[in-house]
Amino acid sequence: MQLQHHTAFSITISGILYLMFKSWGLAIACLISGIFIDLDHLVDVIREHGWSVRVKEFFDICRKAQFDRILLVWHGWEWVILLGEASWQTGWNPWITGVFIGISQHVVLDSLFNTRNPLSYSLIWRWRRDFHFDTIFPKYTAIKYRHR
Ligand SMILES: [Zn+2]
């Protein structure tokens, strides 16, 4: 799923949360985490293509799936579970719960739109496959090799 869709969805979910609970902390934490989770792509782009990548190149690299390995450190069901636990343990602290909802909706949407295998969004599952892009996201290999 693309950044503009994540942004629109995060704004919608955060707006609904604000209307339901009248909590700015909950809404803002959900909005920011639901969009900026994608900053973890920066780690993968810099690791594979170096520090000299410009903004336009960054989006091209992501769109054309130019990765041999993919870490995506914030995209993981493990974070969803840990943040759910942390939300519960803190008595549903609005900031932690907002991050929980923001990260959760983002990972669910990426899982629905980017892969047929929900395990692609498990950090442990990716780690067991040595973060090998073609194994984890086979749907994107045609796009990747068309642009090489
Ligand atoms: Zn994402």
Q: Measured in angstroms, how far is the CA atom of residue 1 from the centroid of ligand 1? A: 7
C-alpha 75 – ligand 1 centre gap (Å): 7
How far is the centre of ligand 1, averaged over its atoms, from the C-alpha of 6 (Å)? Answer: 8
For residue 148, the model assigns a pLDDT of 74
Q: 76 CA to middle of ligand 1, Å?
A: 10
107-141 pLDDT, tens digit each: 999 999 999 999 999 999 999 999 999 999 998 88
Confidence category of residue 31, pLDDT binned at 50, 70, 90 = very high
Residue with tokens 């629905």: 112
What is the reported pTM? 0.94
Average pLDDT of the residues of the chain: 96
Comparing 143 with 117, the larger pLDDT belongs to: 117
